[in-house]
Structure 1
Amino acid sequence: MLRLGIVYIVYGLLCIYNYSEIYAQTQSITFENVNVIPMHEEVVLKNQRVIIKNGMISKIESALIEPTQQTDIIIPAKGKFLIPGLTEMHYHLENDVRDEFKLLVANGVTAVRNMAEYEGQDQIMIREQANNHKFLSPYYVTTGPYLKIHDLQTEEEVVAVVKKHHDRGYDYLKIADNLPENIYVKLLKETSKYNIPVVGHGQRKLPLEYSLRMKSIAHVEEFMYILNSKQKEDTSYLKQVADMIKTSGVYVSPTLGVFEMISRYADDKKFAVLKKSDQIKYRPRAYAAYCLSDTTHYRSNTWFTAPESLIRLEKELEWQKGFTKILHDAKVPLIAGSDTYGLFLPGFSLHRELELICNSGLSPYEALKTATVNPARYLNRASISGTITTGKLADLVLLNKNPLQNISNTQTIEGVVIHGKWLSKEGLNKMLKEVEEHCKTEEE
């Protein structure tokens, strides 16, 4: 996926925001009369009492019986719905880390996979501080730098790059889509020595089977380029491809929203609407100004802006949605990721991604699994995350409406529990206001 071509990195880690009140909170919590969507099956457990102690789900019981445990905080939740915290599986840190993590948490995101380390960043430091609760953050894992063909020109360079990834301690190694066969095969061999999963783009110049040797493929869009025109139009063949992907064990992240966003930039009418988005206030002024200018390649390149290009983009998005459904029907594990950049803002973007996954033909429950159960399995956290069951981490989202009736209801957030700490709607709104104010003054 092409990016806007500009990255603003502002480090807040050297001057960590004071969230002592949040992390000093040691109270136990009870959700009273809440409707629980546990996510290990498609069911709503009505009028439950969920008790949280020491950051874990201590007990789930009927609210009709007398409480078996006492807690410090009681949250009346009659008519509300509790779901597991959401996971963003394709995130890019492009601005102030404190601001972006606030956007994520305010949108119910409690776990994140970062997909690149940009120049000037120290993603290992970010990960260590985030996961040691030095500042408000989702659980965090990261790739190293996004590796392109010029980074891996010889097999000797492959050996050195993989060793550096191991020495630095990155969770994943991310690659571009056009590696030569010998380089790609060597890369897989070297990463297997250190048990570093390879993720990223499919290999467009190699047969499909090569791409299926990775841990995960970052965009369903990749299959548009791996397959030829005739293959893409053959539904029977696409089902065979989906079966191959299922057999391989590869996870696929559709990232439909970021592709949809291209046409919102390229189409003049859609761009005029985008300029009025209320979410722009959560981006630094200079960064937002660039995104809203006509100098970005999505605005200046006729490959995107010509009338026939706009029609092509719409057809390509529909193909991707159709193939997403085929993958789902073949039981390929799908993971929700929105490839955050530009005005496709962290946190907010994941909700749009879930809508598009649902619009591809999945039920709301099936779409919600791509941001809860499936990522937990992928991240080797299924024993502690992904569902609402006793003994798991208390990373939860309280909603005002049932997301199993309409996936858009994931946006009706009343509060978030992260690391066992309760953040009310008032607290979340305060965080968003802090981001807005910081973005106003960042370049002043």
Structure 2
Amino acid sequence: MRCLLLPVLASLLGLASPASAGDGDKIAFLNVDVVDVASGQIIDGRTVLVEDGLIASIGDKDTALPPDARRIDATGKFLAPGLADMHTHTWYEDVQLPLDLAFGVTTIREMWGTQSTLDARKKIESGEMLGPRIVTAGAIVDGDPPIWPGSAVLADPLKARELVAEQKAAGYDFIKTYDELSPEAFAALVEAAREAGMPIAGHIPLAVPIADAAKAGMKSFEHIGAKYESEILRPEIDRKMMNWRSERFDLGAQLLAGTLSLDAIYDWDKVRSFARTMVAAGVAATPTLAVDFGFLQTASEKEARLQRPSSRFSSEKMRANWREDRWMKELGWDDITIARLAAFLAGTQRIAAILYEEGVLILAGTDTGNPFMVHGYSIHEELEELRDAGLGNLGAIRAATINPAKFLGEEGQWGEVRLGARADLVLLAANPLDDVSNYYRIDGVVARGHWLDASEIARMREDGRKAYAAIPPDPPAEEAPKEEAKD
């Protein structure tokens, strides 16, 4: 799953240097405007002191500071919480995790972890390398046969406790479910995980209704796709449209022509019904909107996308895979077909908006590892998609800050600029409450109490670009990452 060449490249390029890492830095931001994501307000002209990895004080200009604190004049700048990417897949830890920090991502939730993930976490926690805090699942748990090789297969419900015990003993934090689990295996897995104190998150198994998955105790549903769609189609819509072939293409053509509306296809009241069930059960949703737009692009749209700055943080092989997309080619999808299928994405946006309106806890996640999704940069694209779907600037920001902290049972401990919280912060050149895109405009990052200034961030980004550029175009098949897998 991971290219063995990258640790060598990382060493050669000096990536993730821990030279000045540590939780003991004393940093004082002077005259900074604090972004309060809880209230949605800006608190002007504050002095914020970071000490021992925590926010030690927030006061006015007369606040007493330790004489050895590093003073940063932040006049005209905005201090905001670091971002959390709550759906990642990491192939090149030494390269991708520092890039997360360089783009303001201070926490990630890894959705298919391996021993490499656990090793990277230890290095980050010890200060040996720079990277975000990592919360990770182990191998995804699927039925037999599984969709992806390498999955943990659970066909016999009686094996659920053994599987959960193995993943917990290995050091993973939660169990990730997948599509082909049977209802019986799913129920046994949920019970075993509950007994072991491990949360369940992931895909809703195809054979399990959404409401049943929520009531069973899943903590988050990942993606908005066919599972949601299968439960909200209006009865007059032929179920054949679910096959992603001619019938669906025809409906897409009607949507593009304006002769059919999404309202005629989907029953939005059904979305509101299971959204309320999710709220009552405490289930969060990770829509991963940006990755859907990354998949369904015409050839010209892909070429335009490849001109974005984000493409610098990918290898030649990755870009070739994104451009060609063997899966779509095997299905025979041409640009006309893709445009027709993309017409349904407005329905995905609408579902996300309804979940938000009904009070479902929304989490920002990128599904990195899929076409056009790259570590660090793509969280900003996801925030823009969430904003445009109806969450607005504040709702999108909360999906990557205060909501993930609440989801993990750590509300108040991080995800906010508040006294006593963990000092995972970004210093921005403009107000993100005015435009969430201002989270791109990073002048500095604080991670685990360590200050990364603009020059260090620029170096980390350039090192990441060089490392990707040095990856051979055609690595051996057994070393090549699954760059097109949507997990």
| TM-score relative to the length of structure 1 | 0.90
- Structure 1 224/435 Cα, relative in aligned 2: closer, same or farther at 3 Å? same
For 2:42, give the aligned amino acid: V
Cα displacement string for residues 110-129 of structure 1 (whole angstroms, at most 9, x for unaligned residues):
011100036xx533222222
Native 8 Å contact 1:262 1:298 kept in 2: no
1:40: which partner in 2? 38
1:300 Cα offset (Å):
4.3
Q: What is residue 219 of structure 1 aligned with on the other side?
A: 223
- 8 Å contact 2:427–2:444 — kept in the other structure? yes
Which residue is equivalent to 1:366? 395
Q: Which residue of 1 aligns with 2:71?
A: 74
What secondary structure, in the 3-state scheme, does the structure 2 residue paired with 1:433 have? helix
CA distance in 2, matches of 1:143, 1:11: 23
Partner Cα distance (1:11, 1:160) in 2: 34
Is 1:179 equivalent to 2:181 in the alignment? yes
- Name whichever of 219-228 and 333-342 sits farther off: 219-228
State the distance in 2 between where 1:393 and 1:322 align.
34
Q: 1:71 to 1:30 in 2, by over 3 A?
A: farther
1:109 aligns with 2:105: yes
User: CA–CA distance in 2 between the matches of 1:225 and 1:177?
Assistant: 15
Structure 2: gaps spanning 5 or more residues: 145-152, 236-264, 474-487
SS in 1 for 2:348: helix
Report deviation, 1:269.
1.3
Distance in 1 (CA, whole Å) between partners of 2:16 and 2:90 is 21
Would you say 1:87 and 2:84 are equivalent positions? yes
Give the RMSD, CA atoms, in angstroms: 2.3
**Match for residue 417 of structure 2 among 368, 371, 388:** 388
Deviations along 1:316-370, whole A, 9 cap, x unmatched? x211111111111111111100101243111111101111111011121111001
Check conservation: 1:335, 1:370, Cα contact below 8 A. yes
| 1:204 to partner: Cα distance | 2.3
Which amino acid counterpart does residue 167 of structure 2 have in structure 1?
A: H
Supply the AA of the counterpart residue of 1:102. P
Aligned partner of residue 202 in structure 1, secondary structure = coil
| CA shift for structure 1 position 10 | 5.1
| SS state at 1:136 partner | coil
Q: Secondary structure at the match of 1:19?
A: coil
Amino acid at match of 1:37: V
Determine the structure 2 residue equivalent to 1:30: 28
Deviation at 1:48, TM superposition (A): 0.9
Q: 2:233 aligns with which of 229, 235, 243?
A: 229
Match of 2:307 in 1: 276
Q: Tell me: CA distance 1:248–1:226, structure 2 relative to 1, closer, same or farther (3 Å).
A: farther
- The unaligned stretches of length 5 or more in structure 1 are 1-5
**What residue identity is the alignment partner of 2:367?**
D
1:141 aligns with 2:145: no
2:141 counterpart SS class:
coil
Per the TM alignment, residue 274 of structure 1 is displaced from its structure 2 partner at its CA by 2.5
CA–CA separation in structure 1 for the residues paired with 2:24 and 2:405? 26
**After the TM superposition, which of the residue ranges 68-77 and 11-20 deviates more from structure 2?**
11-20
Deviation at 1:52, TM superposition (A): 1.1
Other-structure match for 2:241: none
* 2:363 corresponding residue in structure 1: 335
- Mapped to 1, the partners of 2:16 and 2:274 lie a distance apart of 50
Displacement after TM superposition at 1:71 (Å): 4.4
Matches within 5 A, 1:9-20: 12=7, 17=15, 19-20=17-18
Report how many residues are paired. Answer: 430
Task: Indicate yes or no: 2:262 matched with 1:262.
Answer: no
* Aligned residue among 265, 269, 278 for 1:245: 278
Q: CA contact under 8 A between 1:204 and 1:226: conserved in structure 2?
A: no
- The structure-2 alpha-carbon separation of the partners of 1:194 and 1:27, relative to structure 1 and needing over 3 Å to count, comes to closer
Q: Which amino acid aligns with 2:231?
A: L
Q: Specify whether residues 137 and 310 from structure 1 end up closer, same or farther in structure 2 by C-alpha distance, changes over 3 A only.
A: same
Local SS of the residue matching 2:363: coil
Change (3 A) 1:381 1:305: farther
Q: For residue 120 of structure 2, what is the aligned residue in structure 1?
A: 126
In structure 2, what is the Cα distance between the partners aligned to 1:440 and 1:306?
29
Cα 1:158–1:24 shift into 2, 3 Å:
closer
- Distance in 2, matches of 1:298 and 1:312, equals 12
What are the within-5 Å matches in structure 2 for residues 393-432 of structure 1?
393-432=422-461
The letter of the residue matching 1:140 is I
- The counterpart of 2:93, out of the listed 92, 97, 112, is 97
Distance 2:295 2:321 in 1: 15
Answering whether residue 359 of structure 2 is matched by residue 326 of structure 1, we say no
CA deviations 1:105-159 (Å, max 9, x no partner) are 01100011100036xx533222222233221011111100122212112223333
TM-score by length of 2: 0.83
- What percent of counterpart residues are identical? 24
Q: Deviation digits for residues 264-312 of structure 1, max 9, x if unmatched? A: 3xx11101212333333322333333333x252134433x545244222
Give me the whole-angstrom Cα distance separating, in 1, the residues matched to 2:19 and 2:354. 47
Q: Distance in 2 between matches of 1:27 and 1:306?
A: 53
How has the CA–CA distance of structure 1 residues 306 and 438 changed in structure 2, closer, same or farther, with 3 Å as cutoff?
Answer: closer
User: Corresponding residue for 1:3?
Assistant: none
Q: Secondary structure at the match of 2:426?
A: strand
Asked if the contact 2:57/2:419 (under 8 Å) is kept, the reply is: yes
How far is 1:28 from its partner? 1.2
Distance 1:310 1:36, change over 3 A: same
1:111 alignment partner, SS class? strand
Residue in 2 that maps onto 1:205: 207
**CA spacing shift, 1:33–1:128, aligned 2, 3 Å:** same
8 Å Cα contact 1:37/1:388 also seen in 2: yes
Are residues 1:288 and 2:290 paired?
A: no
Distance 1:263 1:376 in 2: 32
Q: Which moved more, 1:358-367 or 1:107-116?
A: 358-367
